[in-house]
Structure 1
């Protein structure tokens, strides 16, 4: 089995994903806004965003993962999120968005 590399601090990444089986990820204008709201919540504290493109069935992000000092400074001292890794923040984003779309469209299972 291929071992996945972990996301490194202070590195640039092109992150992209598409809907499972080519299905849509975004159905309404509100879906785009909700994705960006979740993105701000989960990704902004751990990554600087240079460009993004949200298309109906996939998206692209051009980001740089922040340094450990920048990440820690972005969270309050008492926040348990200060211990979160960037990979966990992406997982949180994708899971939260999938749950919202599943609820909206009365569906279940993977979205990405």
Structure 2
């Protein structure tokens, strides 16, 4: 499988899961450390629109700033986390599936949809309230605390904060209703 090259100024949905679907996070501390490493390795190489960390997988929506270094930065990030996780849990071997997945986001509509999809992961996978889920960018976008997220761009993408909330609520209800019909 040939992997798509991450190109400067392009937006991508980046995701992966644990090897064999196993958990890659066993505690909140693991998730905090993962986000800390993300900033250390990627802050100069990408800008972040959204993220969500589930127990056995993660999602990011990023815009590439540094085409030459970004793939190696992701590799260093994942390797650093895997080594720490393996040491903490007295395990060996691959933590993640072979390569992280990447899908280029080619238009605004898809960008809005993927941001909502990522934020709704806690509801879809754990039947948890996505609005109060700690390890997602949803709350940060709504807050006024300092962040590295592209908060202003996201709000502008959804026109305003009220519409950002409305679109998430609408998609959540739509998915929930669709689920009932299955």
Same fold (TM over 0.5): yes
Q: Which structure 2 residue ranges, 5 or more long, are not aligned?
A: 97-182
Find out whether 1:100 has 2:84 as its counterpart: yes
Displacement of 1:4: 2.2
Distance 1:58 1:7, change over 3 A: same
* Higher helix fraction (1 or 2): 2
Per the alignment, in what secondary structure is the counterpart of residue 15 of structure 2? strand
TM-score, normalization by structure 1: 0.81
Displacement of 1:67: 5.2
* Higher strand fraction (1 or 2): 1
Q: Rg: which structure is higher?
A: 2
Q: CA RMSD in A?
A: 1.3
Report the number of matched residues: 96
Q: Which structure 1 residue ranges, 5 or more long, are not aligned?
A: 69-83
Moved over 4 A (4+): none
TM-score, normalization by structure 2: 0.51
Q: Answer 1 or 2: higher relative contact order, Cα 8 Å, separation at least 6.
A: 1
